[in-house]
């Protein structure tokens, strides 16, 4: 199967300071693992352009976009919230990250590839209409979904988010849009401390207790996400692919392992093949333990390519 790997060297520019977990080394860890495993040979590499401002302004409050694009100091960082800052160079990372997700949609919708993985930073799923959060500036997956609705006239898109943290930004942005089914699993209670009180037929939130292993994750996903996704029959699957629920990642207390990410990816792929002509655009979110991140992304991509999803 033809799989695109979309990134840009400018995604390395975003710098939150020494010892910050959301660091450029995350992308190096992914690249190193893909090369070492030989998976890189099976991927088609694409450079991500910067997202267009007009699209950003349809997903986020134009005042918020202007604050980020126009108010940046020449030197130093602009703090957007307690966790999230951006500099002149770092905003390039954010623009390319969103642009990667848009190109991913274009590639799969035009049939140039069936699946795309966007190795980008900063992550996006905590960014809402007018707010950053949890290292996220622009909501890459929400931007991809908006582009897919507008440019290709899709009527049903599913976003699956298996990051350890609830994708509150994505939920907020599509709260009133039944064309998008949002399926999120996350540790609760944990940042951003929401997602359990949602009552919507197009949001399927699966809170998980800290300390649970993959067996519980699989059971809950199989019970909650899969029937909802089957009923919804998405025309495109977007994935907020966060790997900070890995047992080696201290950003959460979940105890997931590579076989669990393989399993989840295979389930996503099966739904996409049944309903969406196999179309998947997966966008990196969290994942901060570098070795575990590299291995987990490799496992995810291996299944996207067509490797064994068992385990």
Alpha-carbon torsion (225, 181, 282, 23), positive or negative: negative
- Between 278 and 286, whose beta carbon lies closer to Zn ion? 286
Q: Min. distance of Cβ 223 from Zn ion in angstroms?
A: 23
With CB under 5 A as the contact rule, the residue among 10, 22, 161, 163 that binds Zn ion is 163
- Between 43 and 284, whose beta carbon lies closer to Zn ion? 284
Q: Min. distance of Cβ 126 from Zn ion in angstroms?
A: 8
Q: Does 242 bind Zn ion (CB under 5 A)?
A: yes
Sequence-distant (6+) residues with CB within 8 A of 154 are 148, 179, 235, 236
Q: What is the side-by-side order of every strand in the sheet holding 115-118?
A: 43-47, 3-7, 115-118, 280-284, 236-241, 157-161, 180-187, 203-208
**Cβ(258)–Cβ(299) below 8 Å:** yes
Q: Min. distance of Cβ 244 from Zn ion in angstroms?
A: 4
Nearest residue relative to Zn ion (C-beta): 286
Phi-psi region of 38 (alpha: psi -120 to 50; beta: other; left: phi over 0): left
Nearest Cα to 134, choosing from 183, 86, 57, 81?
Answer: 81
Binding window for Zn ion (CB under 5 A); candidates: 2-10, 55-63, 199-207, 235-243: 235-243
Encoding tokens for residue 69?
Answer: 């694009």
Distance, CA of 162 to chain centre:
9
With CB under 5 A as the contact rule, the residue among 122, 128, 286, 294 that binds Zn ion is 286
Q: Does 165 bind Zn ion (CB under 5 A)?
A: yes
Residues 285 and 165: their CA atoms lie apart, in Å, by: 10
Q: Min. distance of Cβ 136 from Zn ion in angstroms?
A: 9
Q: Does 244 bind Zn ion (CB under 5 A)?
A: yes
Per-residue buried b or exposed e for 213-234, using 16+ beta carbons within 10 Å of the residue's own CB: ebebbbeebeeebbebbeebeb
- Between 56 and 254, whose beta carbon lies closer to Zn ion? 254
- Between 169 and 242, whose beta carbon lies closer to Zn ion? 242
CB burial class (10 A; 0-12, 13-18, 19+) of residue 248? middle
Q: Min. distance of Cβ 119 from Zn ion in angstroms?
A: 16
Q: Does 99 bind Zn ion (CB under 5 A)?
A: no
Binding window for Zn ion (CB under 5 A); candidates: 12-20, 32-40, 137-145, 158-166: 158-166
Number of residues that bind Zn ion (CB under 5 A): 6
DSSP string of 108-164?
HHTTS-SEEEE--SS--TT--SS--BTTBSS-HHHHHHHHHHHHH--S-EEEEE-SS
Binding window for Zn ion (CB under 5 A); candidates: 25-33, 55-63, 141-149, 239-247: 239-247
- Between 107 and 221, whose beta carbon lies closer to Zn ion? 221
Q: Does 195 bind Zn ion (CB under 5 A)?
A: no
Binding window for Zn ion (CB under 5 A); candidates: 5-13, 60-68, 89-97, 164-172: 164-172
- Between 125 and 267, whose beta carbon lies closer to Zn ion? 125
Q: Does 126 bind Zn ion (CB under 5 A)?
A: no
Question: What 3-state class would DSSP assign to 85?
Answer: strand
Residues of this chain that bind Zn ion (CB under 5 A): 163-165, 242, 244, 286
């Amino acid at each position: 199967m033809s799989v695109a790997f979309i990134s840009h060297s400018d995604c390395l520019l975003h710098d939150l300071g020494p010892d910050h977990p959301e660091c450029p080394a995350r992308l190096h860890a992914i690249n190193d693992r893909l090369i070492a495993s030989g998976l890189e040979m099976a991927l088609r590499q694409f450079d991500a352009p910067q997202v267009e401002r007009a699209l950003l302004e349809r997903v986020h409050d134009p005042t918020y976009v202007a604050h980020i694009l126009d108010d940046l100091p020449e030197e130093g960082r602009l703090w957007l919230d307690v966790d999230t800052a951006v500099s002149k160079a770092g905003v390039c990372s954010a623009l390319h990250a969103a642009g990667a997700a848009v190109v991913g949609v274009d590639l799969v919708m035009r049939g140039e590839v069936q699946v795309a993985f966007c190795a980008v930073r900063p992550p996006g799923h905590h960014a809402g209409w007018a707010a950053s959060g949890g290292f996220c500036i622009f909501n890459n997956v929400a931007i991809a979904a908006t582009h897919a609705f507008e440019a290709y006239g899709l009527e049903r898109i599913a976003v699956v988010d298996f990051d350890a943290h609830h994708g509150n930004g994505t939920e907020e942005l599509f709260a009133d849009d039944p064309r998008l089914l949002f399926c999120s699993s996350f540790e609760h209670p944990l940042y951003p401390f929401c997602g359990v009180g949602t009552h919507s037929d197009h949001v399927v939130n699966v809170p998980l207790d800290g300390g649970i292993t993959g067996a519980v994750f699989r059971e809950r996903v199989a019970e909650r996400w899969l029937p909802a996704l089957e009923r919804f029959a998405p025309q495109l699957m977007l994935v907020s692919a966060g790997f900070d629920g890995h047992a080696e990642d201290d950003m959460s207390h979940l105890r997931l392992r590579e076989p669990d990410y393989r399993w989840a990816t295979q389930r996503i792929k099966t739904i996409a093949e049944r309903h969406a002509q196999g179309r998947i655009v997966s966008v990196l979110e969290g994942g901060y333990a570098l070795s575990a991140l590299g291995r987990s992304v490799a496992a995810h991509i291996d299944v996207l390519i067509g490797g064994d999803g068992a385990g």
